[in-house]
């Protein structure tokens, strides 16, 4: 018999017997069997406990370590073939080999490119020997200058050296000094080819025309009065002696310059070179490029005069 307020629990041959203090009823039930698919609740916190599923351990993959599971598996690095070095561009800038030589027939610009507006490295004198490479681009000829590929106007190159050209440092005649003549004397005789070009010319310009005509019969055409942006030609104070041979052109230019006082000459222009009385001590000076052979005075000698200052 159970004492009041006491509880007894006994397990006999697998049967649980529980007694409650306030009841005389004794229940005897077999222990519940837990199904592997039904969840159970814990008496302590009421949480649902799901049965642990049994699996075949032989089919399970080994678990990754925490550090390994958070990182991607890297493939083994393969050896890289070193990249080939490209050839230096510096070697491609060298000028081609020279195949021959030519002579400058005029004061010739050495340009960086085959273009009229390309920068010029220098200007070489008439008679300068230049090494050619055989490469051309239109009217331009490639030359080898100081180890670099440069360009010049091909029409001003010749296989033979010109006979004469302006000399550096030459000046016009000083006051009281006799003129140095490279040909005959000053002439007032009418030109055998006619005097139509003298219409409108001043006395000095007429004298220049007749003197060139008498001393340089190679000149077959002249220019006189004509419209121009500069005042010399419209006012009759300029004469153009048309000549394509650079050797003869320089002889005419130097002759007129040497006899400037007697002819009343103020300036002479030929082959992109200019000489003036005001700056006679500087000799021939280079002029800017004007874009064509005629504008640069390669095909004629231009002579400007004062008007009536010369003497026979």
pLDDT tens per residue, the chain (312 residues)?
Answer: 444 544 434 444 444 444 444 444 444 445 555 544 455 454 444 445 555 545 455 455 555 555 444 455 555 555 565 554 443 333 344 668 899 999 988 778 889 999 877 877 888 877 889 999 999 999 999 999 988 999 999 988 999 887 654 443 343 334 333 333 444 688 888 888 778 899 999 999 999 999 999 999 999 999 999 999 999 999 999 999 999 898 999 999 999 999 999 999 999 999 999 999 999 888 999 998 888 889 999 999 999 999 988 765
Q: Is 208 exposed, middle or buried (CB count within 10 Å of its CB: 0-12, 13-18, 19+)?
A: buried
Exposed e or buried b per residue across 219-238, where buried means at least 16 C-beta atoms within 10 angstroms of its C-beta: beebbbbeeeeeebbeebbb
Domains and CATH numbers, the chain: 95-158 (2.30.30.40), 196-305 (no CATH)
The angle at the Cα of 107, spanning 298 to 258, to the nearest 5 degrees, equals 80
Q: CB of 106 within 8 A of CB of 246?
A: yes
Pairing between β-strand 129-137 and β-strand 273-276 as defined by DSSP bridges = unpaired
Pairing between β-strand 9-12 and β-strand 108-111 as defined by DSSP bridges = unpaired
DSSP structural state of residue 309? -
Among candidate residues 158, 296, 305, 294, the one with its CA nearest the CA of residue 221? 294
Q: CB of 140 within 8 A of CB of 114?
A: yes
What is the distance between the alpha carbons of residues 236 and 224, in angstroms, rounded to a whole number? 7
SS3 label, residue 302: strand
What is the distance between the alpha carbons of residues 200 and 224, in angstroms, rounded to a whole number? 8
């Amino acid at each position: 018999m159970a004492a009041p307020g006491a509880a007894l629990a006994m397990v006999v041959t697998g049967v649980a017997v529980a007694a409650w203090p306030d009841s005389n009823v004794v229940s005897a039930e077999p222990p519940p069997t837990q199904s592997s698919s039904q969840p159970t609740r814990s008496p302590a916190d009421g949480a649902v406990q799901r049965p642990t599923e049994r699996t075949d351990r032989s089919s399970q993959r080994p678990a990754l370590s925490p550090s390994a599971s958070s990182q991607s598996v890297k493939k083994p690095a393969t050896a890289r073939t070193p990249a080939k070095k490209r050839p230096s561009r510096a070697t491609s800038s060298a000028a081609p080999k020279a195949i021959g030589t030519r002579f400058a027939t005029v004061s010739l610009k050495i340009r960086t490119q085959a273009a009229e507006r390309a920068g010029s490295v220098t200007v070489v004198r008439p008679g300068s020997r230049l090494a050619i490479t055989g490469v051309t681009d239109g009217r331009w000829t490639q030359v080898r200058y100081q180890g670099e590929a440069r360009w010049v106007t091909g029409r001003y190159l010749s296989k033979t050296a010109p006979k004469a050209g302006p000399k550096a440092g030459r000046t016009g005649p000083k006051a009281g000094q006799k003129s140095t003549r490279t040909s005959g004397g000053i002439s007032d005789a009418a030109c055998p080819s006619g005097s139509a070009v003298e219409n409108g010319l001043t006395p000095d310009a007429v004298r220049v025309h007749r003197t060139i005509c008498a001393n340089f019969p190679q000149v077959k055409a002249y220019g006189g009065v004509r419209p121009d942006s500069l005042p010399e030609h419209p006012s009759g104070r300029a004469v153009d002696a048309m000549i394509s041979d650079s050797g003869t052109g320089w002889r005419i230019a130097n002759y007129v310059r040497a006899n400037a006082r007697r002819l009343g000459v103020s300036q002479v222009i030929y082959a992109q070179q200019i000489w003036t009385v005001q700056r006679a001590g500087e000799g021939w000076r280079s002029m800017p490029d004007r874009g064509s052979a005629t504008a640069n005075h390669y095909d004629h000698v231009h002579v400007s005069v004062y008007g009536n200052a010369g003497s026979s």
